[in-house]
Amino acid sequence: MTEKTIAESARLRHEYLRHDKKFPHVWCPGCGIGIILGSLIRAVDRLGLNKDKLVLASGIGCSGRLPVYVDFNTIHTTHGRALTFATGIKLANPALNVITVMGDGDATAIGGNHFIHAARRNINLTAIIINNQIYGMTGGQYSPTTPYGSLSATSTYGHIEHAFSISDLAITAGASYVAKGTVYHVPALDKLITGGIEKEGFSVIEIMSNCHTQYGRRNKMPDPVTMMKWFRDQAVSVTKAAKMAPDELAEKFIIGVLADRDKPSYTTEYQHIRDRALKVAKNE
């Protein structure tokens, strides 16, 4: 690292972390969530957002701990309900930038219905989903994204359910912006998060992250480096994927911006209804 980079990361740490209160953090050494925390902070800084006008909401899980460490307005809610709290906050004060951070279990198992309908309504929120393919915090039970055949605390003979794709689900349900990244491709991840925050409407950034402790160790990837190499080798960019045959893509996953479309957000539509109702009430 150059002196300039060291000074820059010290500035970001000082400005955005609750460094004097909440550390040391709870994550295992080498957990991917710390990388995502860095990306989020750089995205917020790059966009020049006022941190007093930014709300970070999470549910419960290792991923859900992230807001505890940042000096924004933060709310650590109940498991699966980050989007419901975030929706209420955004509708009560549309001027706020509202971001949620959720694990794959949090967002798509217990919180799955809220996720689908937040996307369908196109609520103007940013949803960061940390997909480590497992329930990390509670000891490695399988989640909706645990791969078929893999081992977990609740699939000790190999998982018999099929995983779904969070990004595909978000696209089908109607999100305005859907992107997928990994903790290996960090500069690209910074850009994907920046794009999601900037976008009007519901944005989803699904991030493949390593839980070597609960997932990797059971599946022949016992340390962060092995998991990072797996992300490096399995990920294919959108541009490259467009030139590949379906069978070449069978074992891979696609990263980059997967959907970016404009349509009215619920938040804007709701404001129009409020304005109309006020006019009716005043007989205008």
CA 25 to chain centre: 19
My answer on whether omega of the bond before 24 falls inside 30° of 0, hence cis, is yes
**Which residues is 256 bridged to in the sheet?**
180
Smaller CB separation from ligand SF4, 149 or 222: 222
CB of 213 to ligand SF4, least distance (A): 4
Tokens of 149: 């055949």
Contacted entry of ligand TPP, ligand SF4, none for residue 213, CB cut-off 5 to 8 Å set by kind: ligand SF4
What tokens appear for 20 in the block? Answer: 């004097």
DSSP state of 102: E
x/- site string to ligand TPP, residues 129 to 158, per CB under 6 A? -x-x-xxxxx----x---------------
Query: According to CB under 6 A, which one of 36, 44, 62, 70 is a site residue for ligand SF4?
Result: 62
Closest contact distance (angstroms) between CB of 95 and ligand SF4 is 33
Asked whether position 27 contacts ligand SF4 by CB under 6 A, the answer is: yes
177 binds ligand TPP (CB under 6 A): no
Q: 200: closest CA among 101, 126, 270? A: 126
Binds ligand TPP (CB under 6 A): choice among 38, 67, 105, 196: 105
Task: Count residues near ligand SF4 (CB under 6 A).
Answer: 12
Length of the chain: 284
Site membership for ligand TPP, residue 60 (CB under 6 A): yes
Asked if 31 interacts with ligand SF4 (CB under 6 A), we say: yes
Q: Measured from the CB atom, is 211 or 258 closer to ligand TPP?
A: 211
- Distance of closest approach, residue 155 Cβ to ligand SF4, in angstroms: 17
Residue 248 CB, nearest distance to ligand TPP (Å)? Answer: 30
- Which positions from 31 through 50 interact with ligand TPP, judged by CB under 6 A? none
**Which residues in the 69-88 window bind ligand TPP by CB under 6 A?**
79
Nearest-CA neighbor of 124 among 55, 185, 190, 29?
55
Q: What gap in Å lies between CA 55 and CA 70, rounded to an integer?
A: 10
Token duo for residue 141: 């039970």
Tokens of 252: 């891979």
177-182 and 126-131: which strand pairing? Answer: unpaired
Q: How far is the CB of 265 from ligand TPP (least distance, A)?
A: 26
CB contact set of 180 (below 8 Å; sequence gap of 6+): 167, 192, 205, 206, 207, 208, 253, 254, 255, 256, 258
Out of 39, 58, 63, 176, which residue is the one contacting ligand TPP (CB under 6 A)?
Answer: 63
Residue 175 Cβ vs ligand TPP, minimum distance, rounded to whole Å: 19
Element (H, E) at 279: helix 266-281
Query: Please, are residues 13 and 19 in contact by the beta-carbon 8 Å criterion?
Result: yes
The CA angle 176-111-119, to the nearest 5 degrees, is 15
Residues that bind ligand TPP in the complex, under the rule CB under 6 A: 60-63, 79, 103-106, 110, 130, 132, 134-138, 143, 211
Residues that bind ligand SF4 in the complex, under the rule CB under 6 A: 27-28, 31, 33, 62, 132, 136-137, 211-214
